[in-house]
Amino acid sequence: MPATLTYLFDPLCGWCYGAAPALAVLAARPDVTLRLLPTGLFAGAGARPMSAEFAAYAWSNDQRIAQLTGQVFSDAYRTRVLTDSDQPFDSGPATFALTAVALTAPEEELTALKAIQSARYVDGRAITLPETLANILRSLDLDAAADVFLTQGADLLNAVDQRIGEGQRLLNQLRAQGVPTLARTEAGQAPRQIPSALLFGPRADLEAFLIAP
């Protein structure tokens, strides 16, 4: 049966980065429609300074994610990103960049998310900087999205507010504990949360859950 899945995430969430391989498997399935919704978890009031204490906590958490998922958290990320106290831990800019993609080339949003995550965790680039994010989008031939992102017009601001608001409402409706959260949404039915552990386990278990009645 075709499935419509809504992926609730934050671009600075290490566990969301850890779930990227599972998302790629889902996106490749012809019977799955995957929709991305940012929740603003680490944006606005959720942002914080990159202190030494927070950096140590983040790195420790990242190592658990790496062991479980095989995702790379590089030395460049540790030495350039986690030590840069001038750049806050703030997912607002990346959320704006991804929303610009959603407005101009929605079919490329997952690709853009993967590129932004890789730029941070593998290449050690500062994805809190607008110029870094714009360059990432342009490297994907998403020039229209880069222009919308840098312009910061009313349409983009409204879209960000709408998407984050919808994401937070769905999290509350599911009574989910945080992100990443994956929900199956079907017309006329209440959304159902897919156990988050399936995003980090054997791909066969995740796919079997999708086809279960």
pLDDT for res 201:
92
The runs of H, that is alpha helices, within the chain are 14-18, 20-27, 52-69, 75-76, 92-104, 109-121, 130-139, 143-151, 154-174, 203-211
Q: Kindly report the CA angle at 32 between 31 and 34, in degrees rounded to 5?
A: 160
pLDDT digits 0-9 by tens, 55-95? 999 999 999 999 999 999 999 999 999 999 999 999 999 99
Q: What is the β-pairing status of strands 3-9 and 181-184? A: antiparallel
Which positions ≥6 away from 117 have C-beta within 8 Å?
A: 11, 16, 17, 20
pLDDT digits 0-9 by tens, 84-105? 999 999 999 999 999 999 999 9
pLDDT for res 158:
98
The alpha carbon of 18 is separated from its chain's Cα centroid by a whole number of angstroms, namely 10
* pTM of the model as a whole: 0.96
Range of the domain at 39: 3-211
Q: How many domains does the chain have?
A: 1
CATH number at residue 127: 3.40.30.10
Can you give the pLDDT of all 213 residues of the chain as single tens digits?
678 999 999 999 999 999 999 999 999 999 899 999 999 999 999 999 999 999 999 999 999 999 999 999 999 999 999 999 999 999 999 999 999 999 999 999 999 999 999 999 999 999 999 999 999 999 999 999 999 999 999 999 999 999 999 999 999 999 998 999 999 987 778 999 999 999 999 989 998 888 776
Residue type, 183: A
